[in-house]
Structure 1
Amino acid sequence: MTMVRVKGFKIFRDRHGKMRCYHRETGHKIDLEKFPIGSAEFFAECETIRAIAEAQKARAPKVGTLGGLVQNYFETEHFQSLAEITRGNYQDCADFLKTIKDTPIHVIDTPLVSGIHDKAAKKIGWRRANMVRTLLSEVFKYNIPKGLIAANYAKDVIPKRRPRDLAYANRPWSIEERDIVLPRAKPHVRVALALMMNTGLDPSDALNLRKDQLDGDTIWGVRSKTGEEVAIPISPTLQAALDLFPEHAAETVLASSRGKAWTYNGFSTVWHRFKIKLEEEGLIAPGLTLKGLRHTVATTLREAGLDERRIADLLGQKTPSMARHYSRSANLAEKNRQTMEMLEKKNERRAKIVKPSPKSVKPNQSEDRT
């Protein structure tokens, strides 16, 4: 038998005496029963595999370019440890940057990044543009220690401000909306909403919460986005909702109607269909989101008088500023009214103390002469 050789492919006989063939660079195997060695079909398949490999190689990020820096960041442990939804958002941002992925590193500077930021704002909106800026900041930060770029050129780029006339995303749910949604939701959706509503957990963290993270009357976990530990007491209301939910074999606390662990996209799809139906029936106003339940918890606690640090601890936030963000819609009118009453009383007392008495007033010189 004549030995056939094809550049870039390894052709050999395995330990069982059977002929094998694969592409060395990609590891792609050729089915020799379908494409016999030496046949026209075999050589055609080799050319197809080689062409695909060359096309993939051409699309791959090049070393010394912006695309190469992004790819390096995606391979870091930091990126791999991010929440699934965050990784997805960053990948979307990387897709937006694909048209300039071959930009050489030596031309990257703050004005260039600022220009990319401005263009992104026009094309994909202010929020996504800020996410592109954040991705670039992370990419530069993690490539500086490797000596691949000199500085974080995204750090001094000013984030785009939210338009003043734009309604807040993830607004808190009203009590009426909660009373309408929960009774109408199917059991596997209702318990998920109840969990988010009574803990302030991020939707992705709630869906991924495992049964072994429930210890007695406490939920122990780590917020995936910040890595902050959380310890959330299980309220009687939440316990009642959990008790009504049928048992299932999934490792997670929540499960679909099939008893399987939810995926974020799966639950979001079910929730969206349910929400749209309620909107069409005129039962709820547009704007309800799963993330809004987290804002609802923060807002309720802020109105109750809790300080931002305590709210941040419950939500798993590193800084109180994020707790302030989540509770920005809190109705503080009554609390501020009480504060103003205290201020008014203090001012009245101060006025009495500094007001001069009649005896302390000295007659002027003209009065002495008269």
Structure 2
Amino acid sequence: MGIGSMVVKVKLEGLNIVRARGKWYVYVRDTKEKLLVGFEGARADLDKRMAMPDFIAKYNSRRVRDLRRTYPDGTLGALVEWYENECPKYQSLAEATKNDYTKAFKYLRPEFDYALADITQADLYDIRDKCAKEKWPRFADKMISALSSMFTQAVKRKKMLGNPALGIDKCHKADPNANREWRENEWDYVAANAPAHLLTPMMIARHAGYRGQTIVKLRWNDYQPDPRFGKCFRIITAKNKELVWIPATDELQAYLDKLDRPALNICTRADGTPWESEVQMQTSVSHYLRDLEEAGHIGGGTTLHGLRTTYAADLKRSGAETGDVAAALGDKSERMGAHYTRHVENEAKVIRAFEGKKKR
């Protein structure tokens, strides 16, 4: 890329370039750091903007992990290397969790020379608060979670005497409206208007209850004939390695059976190629939903994961027990079934209260 009559092409790797509401947004793919926000113009204009010295300087100033650097035993850097490369617990984590931990450790790189024996909870609060300001509160909480997971394994192997990350309270306050159940009119609008490459993952979340990390990897050979329901899904979930059989609803079967199959994966981008990652798919869906929200077609808080909540709520209202809902979601714990349907239980209590009032 370049400016003027001479164009020098420079490959800028690791970027996520998104166009939303007519504007361009450029992020670092691994860390979600914003390099350019709200740029207006054609793609050629964006390329020229990205070739300007200030953008290149910002791109080059990103934290880059030096994989050749080694750290002495007993330091944070040495422990991270052990955890990522040798610890069995780390290898068993879901890919999405590993990615979150990798981003957290990249942020902590300047602290890698710190001696493990000197790390106190007060130190972790300091780095957490600094991280929340430089990045965002939720990222800071994930960083502490990554450290706590690593420290727990270190204590078990006598690499540390204790886990100083235990008991640290979160700085991110969860939005109670996040990942809420969709209203019927919201789903009807999206189902009738969304482009196929975005509707397909939403249909699967709505009618099979899968997480994004499962949806992005779901293949056509996972969609199989079933003598009782016509079609079903048989997969091993990415998060908990659970073998899960789920009937495909009539609505989902009717939709999927009409799709072309340009790839082994069911969900593909607009050009028919598989999504690069769960994050890329979820980001594209999110940008689309926020555009609809801005236009007044749907409300706030609608997310891909919220359709999993909608799926669970439907099962609960149909009479399914909490444990049955959890099983249909692919979760081992009944607690997760309760998590997704607590609002339905509250609705039932309100209904009983008003029915009792009518009887009186």
* TM-score normalised by L of structure 2: 0.69
Whole-Å Cα distance in 2 between the matches of residues 70 and 168 of structure 1? 35
Task: Check whether the contact 1:279–1:285 (CA below 8 A) recurs between aligned residues.
Answer: yes
Indicate yes or no: 2:76 matched with 1:66. Answer: yes
Task: Check whether the contact 1:172–1:329 (CA below 8 A) recurs between aligned residues.
Answer: no
2:201 equivalent among 169, 174, 192: 192
Whole-Å Cα distance in 1 between the matches of residues 224 and 67 of structure 2? 51
Task: Check whether the contact 1:183–1:190 (CA below 8 A) recurs between aligned residues.
Answer: no
Task: Check whether the contact 1:170–1:291 (CA below 8 A) recurs between aligned residues.
Answer: yes
1:307 equivalent among 303, 321, 327: 321
Task: Check whether the contact 2:209–2:312 (CA below 8 A) recurs between aligned residues.
Answer: yes
CA offsets 1:159-188 (integer angstroms, 9 cap, x no match): 327648x44321221111100011111223
Q: What's the CA shift for 1:281?
A: 2.5
Task: Check whether the contact 2:177–2:301 (CA below 8 A) recurs between aligned residues.
Answer: no
Q: What's the CA shift for 1:245?
A: 0.8
1:323 equivalent among 299, 316, 337: 337
Whole-Å Cα distance in 2 between the matches of residues 121 and 223 of structure 1? 32
- The residue number in structure 2 matching 1:150 is 161
Whole-Å Cα distance in 2 between the matches of residues 126 and 152 of structure 1? 21
Whole-Å Cα distance in 2 between the matches of residues 56 and 225 of structure 1? 30
- The residue number in structure 2 matching 1:94 is 105
Match runs of 1:242-261 below 5 Å: 242-248=256-262, 250-261=263-274
SS at match of 2:93: coil
Indicate yes or no: 2:148 matched with 1:137. Answer: yes
**Partner amino acid for 1:63?**
D
Whole-Å Cα distance in 1 between the matches of residues 279 and 69 of structure 2? 29
Question: For residues 341 and 190 of structure 1, do their structure 2 counterparts lie closer, same or farther at Cα, with a shift above 3 Å needed?
Answer: closer
Task: Check whether the contact 1:191–1:245 (CA below 8 A) recurs between aligned residues.
Answer: no
Q: Which runs of 5+ in 2 are unaligned?
A: 1-64, 226-230
Whole-Å Cα distance in 2 between the matches of residues 89 and 96 of structure 1? 11
Whole-Å Cα distance in 1 between the matches of residues 298 and 75 of structure 2? 49
Whole-Å Cα distance in 2 between the matches of residues 240 and 247 of structure 1? 15
Task: Check whether the contact 1:188–1:245 (CA below 8 A) recurs between aligned residues.
Answer: no
**Partner amino acid for 2:275?**
W
- The residue number in structure 2 matching 1:84 is 95
- The residue number in structure 2 matching 1:175 is 184
Q: What's the CA shift for 1:272?
A: 3.5
CA offsets 1:139-165 (integer angstroms, 9 cap, x no match): 11222344322233323x14327648x
Match runs of 1:224-235 below 5 Å: 224-235=238-249
Whole-Å Cα distance in 2 between the matches of residues 330 and 57 of structure 1? 50
* TM-score normalised by L of structure 1: 0.68
- Bigger shift: residues 98-107 or 323-332: 323-332
Question: For residues 138 and 180 of structure 1, do their structure 2 counterparts lie closer, same or farther at Cα, with a shift above 3 Å needed?
Answer: same
CA offsets 1:50-94 (integer angstroms, 9 cap, x no match): xxxxx9478544432112212211113443443332222112221
Whole-Å Cα distance in 1 between the matches of residues 286 and 77 of structure 2? 35
**Partner amino acid for 1:270?**
S
Whole-Å Cα distance in 2 between the matches of residues 266 and 118 of structure 1? 28
Q: What's the CA shift for 1:294?
A: 1.2
**Partner amino acid for 2:310?**
T
Question: For residues 281 and 168 of structure 1, do their structure 2 counterparts lie closer, same or farther at Cα, with a shift above 3 Å needed?
Answer: closer
Considering only aligned residues, what root-mean-square deviation do their CA atoms show, in Å?
3.1
Task: Check whether the contact 2:224–2:234 (CA below 8 A) recurs between aligned residues.
Answer: yes
Q: What's the CA shift for 1:230?
A: 1.7
Identity level (%): 29
- The residue number in structure 1 matching 2:275 is 262
Question: For residues 330 and 162 of structure 1, do their structure 2 counterparts lie closer, same or farther at Cα, with a shift above 3 Å needed?
Answer: farther
Q: What's the CA shift for 1:300?
A: 2.8
Indicate yes or no: 2:119 matched with 1:105. Answer: no
Q: What's the CA shift for 1:111?
A: 4.6
Whole-Å Cα distance in 2 between the matches of residues 121 and 285 of structure 1? 28
Whole-Å Cα distance in 2 between the matches of residues 56 and 255 of structure 1? 34
Indicate yes or no: 2:216 matched with 1:221. Answer: no
Count, aligned residues: 289
Question: For residues 105 and 300 of structure 1, do their structure 2 counterparts lie closer, same or farther at Cα, with a shift above 3 Å needed?
Answer: same
Question: For residues 58 and 64 of structure 1, do their structure 2 counterparts lie closer, same or farther at Cα, with a shift above 3 Å needed?
Answer: farther
Whole-Å Cα distance in 1 between the matches of residues 168 and 155 of structure 2? 21
SS at match of 2:221: helix
Q: What's the CA shift for 1:234?
A: 0.9
SS at match of 2:343: coil
- The residue number in structure 2 matching 1:159 is 169
- Bigger shift: residues 230-239 or 79-88: 79-88
Whole-Å Cα distance in 2 between the matches of residues 152 and 333 of structure 1? 41
Q: Which runs of 5+ in 1 are unaligned?
A: 1-54, 346-370
- Bigger shift: residues 116-125 or 317-326: 116-125
SS at match of 2:108: helix
Q: What's the CA shift for 1:269?
A: 4.2
Match runs of 1:268-307 below 5 Å: 268-307=282-321
